[in-house]
A and B are shown apart, each in its own frame.
Chain A
Amino acid sequence: MSTREEILARCRSSIRERYAMPSLDDINPITWDDPVKQFRQALENAGGKAVEVPSGSDLGEVIKGLFPQAVSFAGNPGEIPAVNIDPDTVEDVSRMESLDVGIVRGETGVAENACVWVPQTMKEKAMCFICEHLVILLPKSRIVNNMHEAYRRISFTGYGYGCFISGPSKTADIAQVLVMGAQAARSLTVLLLPE
C-alpha cells in the first residue's frame, strides 16, 4: 500500500463521528456605509497610503511625482508608459534587486483590513516583493466590505498565484519594535482610480 493509501486508511479508521458542515449564511459580517473611507483608514493603520487619482490623470506622472528620487520603475509597459523594467521580459530576477518602484494592478480591495487581491499578471512576480516601494492600482468601485465578500470575487490568471497585500512588509521580531521593510517592499501606496 502506498503512503497515501496508508494515511487515508488510518484517517478513516480513526474518525469516530462525522460532524456536519455548519451553515455560514448567518455570520452577518460587518459592513460600512462608506467602504472606501474605511479602506483608507485600515490601510493607514497598516502603514500604507492611499492616494485618490482624479479622472483624466496621467498615471505615469502621478507615480513619478510620488517618488521623485526613484530611477527604476517596473510594471506593465502597455499600462504605464513610464516604466523602464518589464517583469515579463526581464532575463533574471536578480536584475530587479535594486528596483525602486514596482507597479501592479489590484483586483479587489477589502475595507475591513485594507487587503488588496493582486493576481499574478507578470512572468516574474518577484517584482511585487523585491521592489523598495510597491504601488497598487485599484478602481474604487472594487472595494468590498469584508473577506467573505472578497473570497467570492477573486480570480486567478494562468500563472496560478495571487496574494492579498495589506500595507508594507513589516516585522517586530527584534524586541517587539515595529519596523517597516523586513524582506519585501518598504512602502505600499494604493492608487484609488475613479473607474
Chain B
Amino acid sequence: MSKQHKDKAREFLQNDSYATWHDQTFWGVRAKRDTMAGNLPEWETLREKASQIKRHTLSHLDRYLDEFSRNAERNGAVVHWASDAAEFNETVLGILKGHGVRKMVKSKSMLTEECEMNPFLEAHGIEVVETDLGERIIQLGRQKPSHIVMPAIHLNHDDVGELFEREGISHEKGNHDPVFLTQQARLSLRHEFLSAGAGMTGANFGVASTGDVVVCTNEGNADMSTSCPKLHIVAMGLEKLVPDYDCLAVFQRLLARSGTGQPTTTYTSHFRKARPGAAPMHIILVDNGRSTWLSDPEHWECLKCIRCGACMNTCPVYRRSGGYSYSYFIPGPIGVNLGMLRSPKEHAGNVAACTLCQSCQEVCPVKVNLAGQIYRWRQQLPAFGKANPTKRVLSDGMKMVFSHPLLYKTATGVLKPFHSRFKKLEK
C-alpha cells in the first residue's frame, strides 16, 4: 500500500491544536447524529428501508431513468444525457452559450467537482460563482473542498477573515467575527444572484414518478440561485433517483439527521419547471462511470450513497487526518471506495486510510458496507500492482506457515528458545 495518505496525514498533524479541534468538531457532529437517531424509535427500520429502496432503484435504474426523464419532460423541462465529464461540461457550455450567459451562480454540487466543470467553463470565458458559503470561501481561496458537507472546515475564522479582506468582500480590517463575515458574504452574494444570467443546482434526489428535482440546503442558496436568474440548469448523477414520494420521505428523514445532526435541512426544494418568464429548466443526467460500476458485484452498492457525510464525520482516520490527506476529491470511507471505482491505480493509496473499525457502516443511513468494501479493495491490490512488496512477502510467508502444520510446528519449535527473551522485552 502506498504511503501517500500517511505522509499527508503527518503534515496535517503538525498543527496539534487544529488537529484536535478538527477531531473534536466532527466527533461532536457524530454525537448530534446519535441524538437524532435515538429520538426516532423507527431509526433502524428507516435505514434498512433506505438500503432496500436504493438496491431496488439501482437494480431497475433503466426503468426509473426512463420514467423520470419522461415525467420531467412532461413538466416542461429539457432533459440532457451525458456519458462522461467531457460531455457534461460541453452540454453545460452549450446551454449557457445558447442563452448568452456570461455569469452563472450555483449551489453546491459534488458532481460538478467530479467533472471539474468550473475550470472548464472559466476557460471558456464564463464566470462561475459558488453560493454555498463554504464553497464560496474555498473558491475565493482557490482550494478544493476538504469535506463534502462542510467544504471549508480546514479554515478558521482568521483564515476566512483575511481571505475576505484580500478579495474585497470585507472592508473592516481585523474583524474576523463569523457573524460579521457571514453578513459580508451575504451582501456580496446578493449582488451575484441578481446579476447572474443562469443558476445551477445539483440534485439530492430525482423523483421518478413526478419528475421533481429535490435540492436540500440550509442557506437557501439553491432557491436564490433559481429565483433570480432566468435560466436553471440541474446537474444530476444517475444514482440520485428515488421511485416516488413515499420513498423520498424515508431519505428526507435520514439525510440531515445523519449528516449534520439536524432533523431536516432548512429548505427541501422541489423543482418541476422554470419560473414564469424564464427559459425551460434544463436537467443533465450524468453517467461518468456509474452505469459501469453497477456491474461490479463487490462494489456496486457504493451507488446507494446519498452524500450525507456521516461516514467521514465518524471515521477516526478522517477526523485525525483531514480531507486533503486523501488523493480523491471525496475523502473519508465513501471517498476511498469511490476513488477506487474511479481509478484504482491513482487512488490505491487511500485504502490504507482505514482501521476497519466499521464505525462508518454503523452510521451510514443507506447501509453501504464501506469498511467491508475497503477490506476487499485491499485484497485486490496485487491485481492493480499496488501491494506493498515487503508486506506481500511476509503475508505469503505466513500463509505458507499456517497452512502447513509440520512447518508451523518446526517454526514455533525453532523460535521457542527466544520466547522468554520476548517476554522480557515486553516488560
Contacts and interface: CB of A to CB of B under 8 A. Distances in A.
A181 B178 contact: no
A146 B253 contact: yes
Contacts of A176: 25, 150, 153
Interface residues of A, number: 75
Contacts of A125: 223, 227, 275
B214 to A, nearest CB: 10
A14 B294 contact: yes
Contacts of B266: 46, 165-170
A11 B383 CA distance: 26
A182 interface: yes
Interface string B57-84: 0111110011001000001100001110
Given A30-B40, A163-B267, A174-B178, A19 B56 contact: yes
Nearest to B286: A7
Interface string A88-130: 0000011001000000000000001111000000011110111
B275 to A, nearest CB: 6
B220 A185 contact: yes
B264 A169 contact: no
B190 A97 contact: yes
Given A14-B294, A173-B152, A182-B133, A115 B83 contact: no
Contacts of B270: 156, 161-163
A166 to B, nearest CB: 5
B56 to A, nearest CB: 5
Contacts of A156: 270, 272
Contact of A129 (B41, B69, B224): B224
B62 A148 contact: no
* Chain A at the B interface: SS class: loop
B129 to A, nearest CB: 12
Interface stretch (A20-28, A61-69, A77-85): A20-28
B291 A11 contact: yes
A29 B53 contact: no
Contacts of B45: 26-28
B46 interface: yes
Nearest to A46: B266
B87 A3 contact: yes
B182 interface: yes
Contacts of B245: 151-152, 154
A160 interface: yes
Interface residues of B, number: 91
B42 A183 contact: no
B419 interface: no
B162 interface: no
Contact of B42 (A19, A20, A27): A27
A124 B137 CA distance: 29
Nearest to A120: B275
B359 interface: no
Interface of B: 25, 40-42, 45-46, 48-49, 52-53, 55-56, 58-62, 65-66, 69, 75-76, 81-83, 87, 131-134, 137, 150-153, 155-157, 160, 178-179, 181-183, 185-186, 189-190, 193-194, 218-221, 223-224, 227-228, 238, 243, 245-250, 252-253, 262-273, 275-277, 285, 287, 291-295, 297
Given A7-B238, A125-B227, A129-B224, 7 more contacts: A3-B82, A7-B285, A15-B295, A146-B249, A163-B269, A169-B266, A183-B219
26 contacts: A3-B87, A4-B69, A7-B83, A15-B62, A16-B59, A19-B52, A19-B55, A22-B56, A27-B45, A46-B263, A93-B194, A113-B264, A125-B223, A125-B275, A130-B190, A147-B253, A160-B273, A173-B137, A174-B137, A174-B152, A174-B178, A174-B181, A176-B150, A177-B179, A183-B131, A183-B186
